[in-house]
Structure 1
Amino acid sequence: MDWIDSMAVLATPRIPTLRTPYNSANFPNSSNPPTRRTEPAMTPAAIRYSIRPSNPEAHLFEVRCTLPDPDPAGQRFALPAWIPGSYLIRDFARHVMAIRAEAGGQAVALDKINKHTWQAAPLATGGTLSVICEIYAWDLSVRGAHVDQTHAFFNGSSVFLRAHGHEHRRCLIELQRPIGQRFQDWRVATALPIAEGEKGAAGSDGFGLYQAADYDELIDHPVEMGTFTLAVFTACGVPHEVAISGRHDGDLARLTADLTRICEWQIRFFGQPAPMSRYVFLITAVGDAYGGLEHRASTALLCARDDLPYPGMKGTPERYRTFLGLCSHEYFHAWNVKRIKPAAFVAYNLDRENYTTLLWAFEGFTSYYDDLALLRCGVIKARDWLQLVAKTIDRVLSNPGRRRQTLAQSSFDAWTKYYRPDENTPNAVVSYYAKGALVALALDLTLRLGTENRKSLGCGSFRPRL
């Protein structure tokens, strides 16, 4: 077919350079991928963070970072310039309304040295330094932070300062309820591990103390606070939660039944045990929206309330099918990009762009398998899946940019082109999501054809059931 022939020219980038090839034995039943670093003889005291919606009406968080032994020459702190999974410089520090430092109850001079970095004045060795920020949060997306009188949501990259030189240090995080009787019904949904054994560990409503092994884990667990609806299910022995914020009349029994099938298929596809001990779907339902962002043991999703299944729904209508594809996509990322990743992302440089030519493999392959998983687990029929493939083909072939930009170029230029669309984008840019998915399909079909269906892109024993 013509679409495969034209695609083959751009399907030549090398197979991704991986941090660690995925194998279930490499990743024990934990939310944290392995890291290589030498442990010190004595474990230093944890960095302590606290966050509270201090003024929900004004969309403000108060965030505190306390470092027991700051750099005697003057400790530096910074907010990330971007969030992993969304390849655009977002400059989260622009939302800092006020910032100050103190030690022993006394103010400490704090100088801003670039757009997202501050340096505290030198302290005597052994002193404890705290930096307190007031952060504006009115970004109703999956990437930033949002707070009002109905709920609070944040990604750690938009609110938690990074202490330079202490990135591998253990963190303790206190999630605090906003002050006032009207917030007494609020609770917390997050995949952050509870700080078991610590005084003030999170209780049944979720407020209290959590922990993270290092800064990378700290910012990889989004948090929702509010009066969300909650449903639970188990997939291959792993507990999963679905927290939905916003008005909706979704059928949670139907949703969790379908998600169970999707999650179990993916866990078995990559090989048991799952790499996380618990997983959380954080869903915000609004009038009209669509988006998702992956994390190591959770995902943040934004959808229209009409995308959710309604009581008595028959079949799998297009809007619900699209939403399930989004859930499947972000869940697949728990392996493909969170545990299997390009070398350029080991480790993330949060101060600037991290360039890679391989987003076509990590996003494109995920886009291929997100809908295929719906078919394999029986949530949709073969006709539905073929219609989804046809739409992807039409999308790529109708885009003149496919003749201008290779998939490797599209991946590399995501920071300046794909995430910054303008009126000329269709003429100059090809989607590494859509065309990457077609490359995955072509490779899968080629492997099956060449091995009489004994081998496939994903698993040597995987056989089609179309």
Structure 2
Amino acid sequence: MTSPTASATAAIHYRVAVSDLHAHRFEVTLTVPAPEASQTLSLPVWIPGSYLVREFSRHVGVVTARQGQREVPVRQVSKNTWAFDCAGRGALVVSYPVYAFDTSVRAAFLNAQRGFFNPTSLCLRVHGKESLPHRIEIAGLPKGWDIGTAMRAVEGASQQFESADYDELADHPFELGPFWRGEFVAEGVPHEFIVSGALPILDGERLLRDAQRICEAQIAFWHCHKSRPPMDRYVFLLNCVDDGYGGLEHRASTALIASRRDLPRLGQNEVSDGYVKLLGLISHEYFHTWNVKRLRPDVFERYDYEQENYTELLWFFEGFTSYYDDLFLVRSGLIDEARYLKLIAQTFTQVLGAPGRKHQSVARSSFEAWTKYYRQDENTPNAVVSYYAKGAMVALALDLTLRGAEKTASLDELMRGLWKESGGGPVSEAQILRKLTDLGGELAAQSLSTWVHGTDDLPLPQLLERMGVRWGHDKPTLAQRLGLRVSESDGAITVKQVLLDSAALAAGLSAGDELIACNGWRVRKLEDLPLMLDQQDPQHLTLLVARDQRMLTLTLALPTQEGAARPVCLGLLDKAPARAQSLRRAWLGG
């Protein structure tokens, strides 16, 4: 048995010091106990779960190195890679500062109120030594600050944490600061909730209760109370900001960001839309503990931190997770059926209102995530479909197809079956289709393949009707009628996006245009345009537009409501057949 001292000696060791709060700087000291004669170090260019090359190395300062008293020359060989010529058997000690001022969940942040980092932003990878144990020591914490992480604490070593290898190290974010901390147990697994930046009126006990219900429902879903979850402990790291939303999954934790206004407040029992959104985020990232962190694309069996890692399966790992996130809110009793139908109607509206769904499949969207979905611009709605949103629609269509068949099955069975067959490991599209064939027959597998590789709309109105759910449409907004997406600020209306085959495009409007006047009247809100109609010609609007300091006059033909993309509205069918009601109860009740 290896002694703690021997383990510490063999481990790759990082000392992460809080160096300068106001300059937002960490100081990292990396010790490689037994370096190669020619040792290479590199910093990842991306973080798993966020499919964009982010160039974290741009925040690394001057790198220096030594072996004992000997200064080791440092040679940078690429944007994120350094080489060191080592001598003898002495440990290589590398030092470098890292600028940390990214408030997202993907990188690193430090100021006088809090610190946060993902090791992929701070910890150079020691080539050839990735399989060794890796330790992180936190130093220089201000008085009153604490450490939050799911990484295993080193017994008998203050503020030190250890992982089995570099991949495990990379998968454990750290929260630093004077945060709020709460705990609960779900199906025998200790869970910790760390909240930074919350208002004093945070109802932490309610947050814990609601999160516990989600976690218990998901553990029961995957393991049916028969086997232990894959993590011994789980940590939620929530950063509260004035305006923000997002999350990033990890194997035993998640980093979350949300508006502090969306958190539950003492003395308030209602479930606001903002709180439902936060609960959906918690549910989404927790579901990833199984679906993407363990059950994952076969090409992700080992991550390549140096470049893009391509897969066509994000519709399954992100889209199907997006389907289950809100579904678990209704299954765990946090929202009712009507609230859930409203949420999925919003997803349908998002997808059906974007022309890009006719030009890109969700499989292609997955593959091109690195260059398209994660690099959105004014043309994104016309060229890209969200593998999150349409992937969730595909999951719903597949689930309802399986549930409505003569040989009743469900998407739940498919997910659990894949988990069991893969041993909670990598899977391919072929494996997914084979398992689906076993459950629902070849037709179900063919339908799924067509949906994910094609661009046709899904047969959801008919499938929902089998569950006793009515598909309808609400009145479109003026922006939807015109095919416009705008921002309104201080009385200025700026065009952000113009959709293909729209009245706005036919009129010649372009992203970046500012709408100044309509039919000779100053306009400050888009919805005010109909108030300025000319009764002699009510179907046309004369717009005064500012573009690149020039004033242009454009004529816009006002389309009818029937010809516009209209918001989807879902409701329960009156007097639905008994079979439909039974199927719906099984679907929403799990």
Q: Is the TM value for this pair above 0.5?
A: yes
Q: Describe the superposition over 1:63-109 as per-residue Cα deviations: whole angstroms up to 9, x where unpaired.
A: 1111111111x100000000000000001000012211111032100
Matches within 5 A, 1:144-155: 144-155=107-118
Matches within 5 A, 1:29-428: 45-72=10-37, 74-124=38-88, 126-178=89-141, 183-196=142-155, 199-200=156-157, 202=158, 208-248=159-199, 249-271=201-223, 272-428=227-383
Q: How far is the alpha carbon of 1:247 from its aligned partner?
A: 3.7
Q: How far is the alpha carbon of 1:451 from its aligned partner?
A: 4.2
Q: How far is the alpha carbon of 1:250 from its aligned partner?
A: 1.6
Q: Which amino acid aligns with 1:371?
A: D
Q: Describe the superposition over 1:423-445 as per-residue Cα deviations: whole angstroms up to 9, x where unpaired.
A: 10000000000000000000000
Q: RMSD of the alignment, in Å?
A: 1.5
Q: Quote the residue 2:490 is aligned against.
A: none
SS in 1 for 2:278: helix
Q: Describe the superposition over 1:38-65 as per-residue Cα deviations: whole angstroms up to 9, x where unpaired.
A: xxxx988111111011111100001111
Provide the C-alpha distance between the structure 2 equivalents of 1:177 and 1:99, rounded to a whole number of angstroms.
Answer: 20
SS in 2 for 1:445: helix
The two structures have a TM-score, normalised by structure 2, of 0.68
- The question of whether the paired residues in 1 share the 8 Å contact of 2:86 and 2:92 is answered with no
Q: How far is the alpha carbon of 1:137 from its aligned partner?
A: 0.2
The two structures have a TM-score, normalised by structure 1, of 0.86
SS in 2 for 1:58: coil
SS in 2 for 1:417: helix
Which of these two proteins has the greater Rg computed from alpha carbons? 2
Provide the C-alpha distance between the structure 1 equivalents of 2:187 and 2:69, rounded to a whole number of angstroms.
Answer: 51
Q: How far is the alpha carbon of 1:393 from its aligned partner?
A: 0.6
Higher relative contact order (CA 8 A, sep 6+): 1
SS in 1 for 2:30: strand
Provide the C-alpha distance between the structure 2 equivalents of 1:314 and 1:247, rounded to a whole number of angstroms.
Answer: 18
SS in 2 for 1:410: helix
Q: Quote the residue 2:475 is aligned against.
A: none
Q: Describe the superposition over 1:208-233 as per-residue Cα deviations: whole angstroms up to 9, x where unpaired.
A: 11100000000111001100011111
Q: How far is the alpha carbon of 1:171 from its aligned partner?
A: 1.0
Q: How far is the alpha carbon of 1:314 from its aligned partner?
A: 2.4
SS in 1 for 2:302: coil
- The question of whether the paired residues in 2 share the 8 Å contact of 1:98 and 1:135 is answered with no
Q: Which amino acid aligns with 1:195?
A: V
- The question of whether the paired residues in 1 share the 8 Å contact of 2:362 and 2:385 is answered with yes
Structure 1 stretches of at least 4 aligned residues deviating more than 6 Å after TM superposition: none
Count of aligned residue pairs for this structure pair = 410
Provide the C-alpha distance between the structure 1 equivalents of 2:188 and 2:268, rounded to a whole number of angstroms.
Answer: 28
- The question of whether the paired residues in 2 share the 8 Å contact of 1:353 and 1:415 is answered with yes
Provide the C-alpha distance between the structure 2 equivalents of 1:245 and 1:97, rounded to a whole number of angstroms.
Answer: 28
SS in 1 for 2:413: coil
Provide the C-alpha distance between the structure 2 equivalents of 1:347 and 1:256, rounded to a whole number of angstroms.
Answer: 34
Q: Quote the residue 1:16 is aligned against.
A: none
Q: Describe the superposition over 1:223-281 as per-residue Cα deviations: whole angstroms up to 9, x where unpaired.
A: 01100011111111111111111141221111111001000000010103111111111
2:586 to 435, 439, 463: 463
Q: Describe the superposition over 1:25-46 as per-residue Cα deviations: whole angstroms up to 9, x where unpaired.
A: xxxxxxxxxxxxxxxxx98811
Matches within 5 A, 1:438-453: 438-451=393-406
Q: Which amino acid aligns with 1:57?
A: H
Provide the C-alpha distance between the structure 1 equivalents of 2:406 and 2:70, rounded to a whole number of angstroms.
Answer: 72
- The question of whether the paired residues in 2 share the 8 Å contact of 1:177 and 1:186 is answered with no
Q: Quote the residue 1:6 is aligned against.
A: none
Provide the C-alpha distance between the structure 2 equivalents of 1:110 and 1:465, rounded to a whole number of angstroms.
Answer: 59
Matches within 5 A, 1:13-24: none
Sequence identity (%): 50
Provide the C-alpha distance between the structure 2 equivalents of 1:381 and 1:420, rounded to a whole number of angstroms.
Answer: 36
Q: Quote the residue 1:20 is aligned against.
A: none
Provide the C-alpha distance between the structure 1 equivalents of 2:297 and 2:197, rounded to a whole number of angstroms.
Answer: 36
Q: Which amino acid aligns with 1:384?
A: R
Provide the C-alpha distance between the structure 2 equivalents of 1:217 and 1:176, rounded to a whole number of angstroms.
Answer: 21
Q: Describe the superposition over 1:389-442 as per-residue Cα deviations: whole angstroms up to 9, x where unpaired.
A: 111111110010000001111000000000001110000000000000000000
Provide the C-alpha distance between the structure 2 equivalents of 1:177 and 1:110, rounded to a whole number of angstroms.
Answer: 26
- Greater helix proportion: 2
Please, which runs of 5 or more residues in structure 1 have no aligned partner? 1-41, 203-207
Provide the C-alpha distance between the structure 2 equivalents of 1:171 and 1:422, rounded to a whole number of angstroms.
Answer: 40
SS in 1 for 2:258: strand
- The question of whether the paired residues in 2 share the 8 Å contact of 1:155 and 1:222 is answered with yes
Provide the C-alpha distance between the structure 2 equivalents of 1:108 and 1:339, rounded to a whole number of angstroms.
Answer: 40
Q: Quote the residue 2:528 is aligned against.
A: none
Provide the C-alpha distance between the structure 2 equivalents of 1:245 and 1:398, rounded to a whole number of angstroms.
Answer: 36
- The question of whether the paired residues in 2 share the 8 Å contact of 1:88 and 1:353 is answered with yes
Provide the C-alpha distance between the structure 2 equivalents of 1:234 and 1:315, rounded to a whole number of angstroms.
Answer: 25
Pair 364,100 (structure 1): closer, same or farther in 2 beyond 3 Å: same
- The question of whether the paired residues in 2 share the 8 Å contact of 1:111 and 1:119 is answered with yes
- The question of whether the paired residues in 2 share the 8 Å contact of 1:292 and 1:330 is answered with yes
Q: Which amino acid aligns with 1:52?
A: A
Q: Describe the superposition over 1:169-190 as per-residue Cα deviations: whole angstroms up to 9, x where unpaired.
A: 1112211133xxxx21111110
